[in-house]
Chain A
Amino acid sequence: MKIAVAAEQVSKVYRIRETYDGPPTRRLLMARFLFGETFKGVVTVREKKVVNNLNLSLAEGDVMALLGPNGAGKSTLLEMIATGLTPDEGRITVNGYDTVRQRDQAKLFITPIFPMFGAQNMWTARQNLEYAALLHNIPRPEMISRIDKILSVIGLAARADELVMRFSTGMRVRLILGMGLMIDAPIYLMDEPFIGIDPHMAIEIRSFLKEQIINRGRSVLLATNVLEDVEHLCNKAALICEGRLVTCGTLQQLKSNLHHNDTIRLEVTRLNGTSESLLDSLRQLTETRNVTLSAQNGLSHFQLLTSDSRGCLPGIIEIIQKGGGEIRHVQVMKPSLADVFLTYTGHHLM
């Protein structure tokens, strides 16, 4: 399969300026006079590697999530792929074109959707769409035919000539996605496209993205820390933490790579003193680990981890029934991406 985006050992270092309280001397007072009252006394510049020796490849037609907590380096990586930033080390190619040495060619394949850049508030929706098309050299006849189509797709046809400053957050998000659709280059780079929208609108926009972008075979890199976006839209995920790629693969692969696949919870009644022996029997089962029991209001709650819930569930049920227990409820939980992230990095996503 053809590679749409490849990052090879990419690093990016930012210089971060920090100030600390210094002793109140005459020179400090003079510095405060010049730089303002907020000047604390000591200025240091430290280097922070926001992307660290990262390798990544996105195949054509793949929808890959860049999953990581805030400050993980997702946006910086996307900006580097989009040619807005240059890597300090390593190399990025877009459709085979180097993003530094062949920047102009690489840009032609990219649709950047960075909601943080926003739309021009004092322009109309139509003007914003036209602006996006002009910036990306869409020929005028094509631009004109696309604008009306996209306005209706994003549900803003009736308000096309209204100033964006009067739009709600959801409408702005749709407009920004519409600006992306105007460009419609084969590789979509999206940085937190759902930020600031309510859950109902998120569902609507997810299905919109699926219809308008993903189902048309576009390659997508989606930076987010919202797991629902990933589960609904992506077939692959790359886990990034502190600038490093922790792991990468299909969602199924990532989940199955965990030592425990599933968590089984059982709610049992009428155990009457046999719970300890039941626990021992359950622990004897192969494929089960971390078997625990808690009791509340006459109900016993068993929880155990297994790599094969389908295979061991009949055995579990049999042991409990033999022990006189009556199963009231069984719950089998597949591992979530949050579990995957926690297992690989030791950090929570948010």
Chain B
Amino acid sequence: MNTISRELGKIRFLILADFRVQMLFRLGILIQLLNVTIAAASYYFLTTLFHGSSEVMKRYSTDVVSYILLGLTMNPIFTTSLVGFISALETTYVSRALERIMMAPTSPYSLFFSRMANGYITSIIAALLYLAIGIAVFRVRLGTGNPLAVLLILLLGAIATIAVGMLLAQVFFYTYTGKGSGGSVVIFVQGFMSVFTGATFPIEVLPTPLRWISAMLPQTHAIRAARLVLAGRAIFDTVIIQDLLFLIGFCMVMLPVGVWLMRKGLEHMRKEGYSPQPRFATARRFG
């Protein structure tokens, strides 16, 4: 218990310290706020082309604008869960904070979670902004479902996605070059997420083979369940129960695997050293 509260104290310190740094660039924060507004507006004007509704949308008891803005609200939380570890690893590796913490009697997870917490804070602020702008300006309909149940589903989805994030972090452990390899992965994953998780359009419009990819991702299940609950469906609805069971099963299997892989990855760094060079390169002649 003592250890947990001590580590939480460290996370709190790091979050506040990073927050103070962000406050040094207030203009940047204002620009981010402006970006959210512009993104919401551009999606709104784009969706007016489709007359606001479609057959697929009826399943979610919503219109296209509300569907997209709700997706934009949830998406950053899952993105942070997914890329949090790899981004934290890369930034702490480049600043050499990772090396320092490997020598200290502190869990590296305190460092990773503090970085992720900052991502979550930004995501939640962005989510609230999307909602506020959506409701006030674009008359988004949120639905009449239980908001607490939605939050719990999102939390479960975020935890399941963290497990995927731990798998994704392995890319860094085995390829770190100090040239922003993690950054490229983050950009790729963000693009991938926007297509396959049903955040910006329903997965029902994807070709059947691609829907299989969607079905494998915990975010898809979390976003769908959250949407359906918000649309007023009962939590015991078959589709929602299936989604929740998937998420629980995913967490039970993938979280221990993710934690194990993270431990192996950190040991790998301790063994291979911290020099920036690809570790997978083998003696091979091209040409």
Contact = CB atoms under 8 A, between A and B. Distances in A.
Interface of A: 14-17, 22-28, 31, 41-45, 76, 79, 82-86, 88, 104, 107-108, 110, 112, 114, 116-118, 120, 122-123, 127, 130-131, 134-137, 140
A83 B6 contact: no
Contacts of A26: 287
B106 A25 contact: no
Interface in B1-18: 6, 9-10, 13, 17
A43 B96 contact: no
A131 B103 contact: no
Given A116-B96, A135-B104, A42 B286 contact: yes
Interface in B252-287: 267, 270-275, 277-279, 281-287
Secondary structure of the A side of the interface?
mixed
Nearest to B285: A42
B191 interface: no
Across the A-B interface, the 7 shortest Cβ-Cβ residue pairs? A25-B287, A28-B287, A135-B104, A82-B103, A107-B105, A84-B103, A44-B283
B283 A28 contact: no
B240 to A, nearest CB: 43
Contact of A135 (B95, B106, B282): B106
A24 B287 CA distance: 7
B265 to A, nearest CB: 14
Contacts of B101: 135
B2 to A, nearest CB: 10
Given A31-B286, A117-B96, A110 B103 contact: yes
Contacts of B31: none
Interface of B: 6, 9-10, 13, 17, 20-21, 24, 95-97, 99-106, 267, 270-275, 277-279, 281-287
11 contacts: A16-B277, A17-B277, A17-B281, A25-B287, A31-B287, A84-B270, A118-B96, A122-B21, A127-B20, A131-B17, A135-B101
B155 to A, nearest CB: 28
B286 A41 contact: yes
Contact of B283 (A45, A79, A127, A136): A45
A142 B161 CA distance: 39
Given A44-B283, A118-B96, 13 more contacts: A14-B275, A41-B286, A42-B285, A43-B283, A45-B281, A45-B283, A85-B271, A116-B96, A117-B99, A120-B97, A123-B17, A123-B20, A140-B9
